[in-house]
């Protein structure tokens, strides 16, 4: 996602255009899938809760994350966002009463160490970028914990659809107040299309499905593999150099993920 966002920015698009287009593409695809499959839409307070996750949680996290990308490197932004497994695990232990087992604690410590090593020398971003990155992590943590309560009731597809519609509503209103500046090149539009299809539809569906099956802390820590991919792609496509500590951090994260994968799963699969 940070790589596609950088390409869209380089093509002349502003953040409003990137986020509005992303949520619009995702919403159209997901609503189409819901209609084709004749899925049952949630009702009542569940609808409002999922829309709230989109209008406030997902939209706020996206704003903070994409703002951080304007002031900090892709690697640093990934590191800051992926402090959220620590926050999620602690919130889940207090609010959801998920047990802090020894295996989970060891995996959490390893994942945190691995993330710190993975970014390595990238911890040189501006204070504004760091603030936006940490804000994204905090919002995302609350979003995940709330999603753990709501997603099993609605199912992964319906949950993802309503969350994306909520995000679209937020940035649709923003577009009325501040009209977006769209990409000026074909590559920029391809980057936005990838943000909508790959980084929103496919990624969100997979994450919600995993969230319903694993629980908040397990899903959060397993997804810490993402910064490893970000650093590798940033080195390949953006020319960011990988240090020895970054390679070592990636290895530690993989060990943490393998350790976590052996932990008992929590949650109930959606119908």
Q: Which is more confidently placed, 64 or 145? A: 64
**Whether pLDDT at 265 is above 70:** no
Q: Report if residue 107 sits inside a domain.
A: no
Helix (H, G, I), strand (E, B) or coil at 256: helix
Q: Which is more confidently placed, 251 or 165? A: 165
The residue written with tokens 């990624």 in the block is: 203
Q: Report if residue 242 sits inside a domain.
A: no
pLDDT score of 268: 35
User: What's the pLDDT tens digit per position in 205-256?
Assistant: 787 778 777 776 677 667 767 777 887 887 787 777 667 777 787 778 778 7
Q: Report if residue 171 sits inside a domain.
A: yes
Q: 168 near 24, Cβ under 8 Å?
A: yes
**Whether pLDDT at 78 is above 60:** yes
pLDDT score of 267: 41
Q: 118 near 111, Cβ under 8 Å?
A: no
Band of pLDDT at residue 259, cut at 50, 70 and 90 = confident
pLDDT score of 13: 94
The residue written with tokens 């509005």 in the block is: 20
User: What's the pLDDT tens digit per position in 23-62?
Assistant: 999 999 999 999 998 988 998 899 999 999 999 999 999 9
Band of pLDDT at residue 262, cut at 50, 70 and 90 = low
**Whether pLDDT at 199 is above 60:** yes
Stretch 169-177: mean pLDDT: 94
Q: How many domains does the chain have?
A: 1
Q: Which range (24-28, 119-123, 158-162, 165-169) has the least confidence? A: 119-123
Could you tell me the pTM of the whole model?
A: 0.78
Q: Give the structural domain span for 154.
A: 2-101+125-215
Q: Report if residue 110 sits inside a domain.
A: no
Q: Report if residue 239 sits inside a domain.
A: no
Q: 145 near 78, Cβ under 8 Å?
A: no
**Whether pLDDT at 153 is above 60:** yes
Q: Report if residue 116 sits inside a domain.
A: no
Question: Which among 107, 64, 67, 69 is positioned nearest to 88, based on CA atoms?
Answer: 107
Tokens of 12: 């002349």
CA 269 to chain centre: 21
**Whether pLDDT at 266 is above 50:** no
Query: What's the rounded Cα separation, in Å, for the pair 195 and 99?
Result: 35
Question: Which among 138, 82, 66 is positioned nearest to 250, based on CA atoms?
Answer: 82
Stretch 66-83: mean pLDDT: 81
User: What's the pLDDT tens digit per position in 86-127?
Assistant: 777 778 788 877 787 888 888 888 888 887 786 665 566 678
Q: 100 near 89, Cβ under 8 Å?
A: yes
**Whether pLDDT at 270 is above 60:** no
Q: 72 near 125, Cβ under 8 Å?
A: yes
Question: Which among 22, 26, 3 is positioned nearest to 201, based on CA atoms?
Answer: 26
Q: Report if residue 248 sits inside a domain.
A: no
Q: Report if residue 186 sits inside a domain.
A: yes
């Amino acid at each position: 996602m940070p790589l596609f966002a950088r390409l869209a920015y380089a093509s002349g698009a502003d953040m409003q255009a990137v986020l509005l287009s992303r949520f619009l593409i995702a919403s159209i695809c997901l609503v189409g899938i819901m209609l084709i499959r004749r899925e049952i839409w949630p009702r009542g307070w569940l609808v409002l809760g999922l829309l709230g996750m989109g209008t406030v949680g997902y939209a706020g996290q996206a704003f903070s994350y994409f703002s951080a990308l304007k002031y900090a490197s892709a690697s640093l932004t990934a590191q800051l966002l992926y402090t959220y497994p620590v926050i999620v695990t602690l919130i889940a232990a207090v609010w959801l009463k998920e047990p802090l087992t020894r295996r989970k604690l060891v995996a959490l410590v390893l994942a945190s160490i691995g993330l710190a090593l993975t970014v390595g020398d990238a911890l040189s971003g501006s204070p504004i970028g760091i603030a936006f990155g940490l804000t994204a992590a905090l919002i995302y943590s609350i979003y995940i914990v709330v999603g753990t309560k709501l997603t099993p009731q609605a199912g992964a597809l319906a949950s993802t659809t309503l969350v994306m519609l909520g995000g679209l509503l937020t940035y649709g209103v923003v577009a009325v107040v501040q009209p977006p500046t769209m990409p000026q090149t074909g590559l920029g539009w391809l980057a936005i299309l990838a943000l909508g299809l790959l980084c929103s539809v496919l990624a969100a569906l997979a994450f919600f499905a995993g969230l319903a099956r694993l629980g908040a802390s397990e899903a959060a820590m397993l997804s810490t593999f993402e910064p490893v991919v970000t650093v590798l792609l940033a080195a390949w496509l953006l020319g960011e150099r990988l240090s020895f500590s970054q390679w070592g951090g990636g290895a530690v994260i993989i060990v943490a993920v393998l350790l976590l994968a052996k932990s008992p799963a929590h949650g109930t699969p959606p119908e």
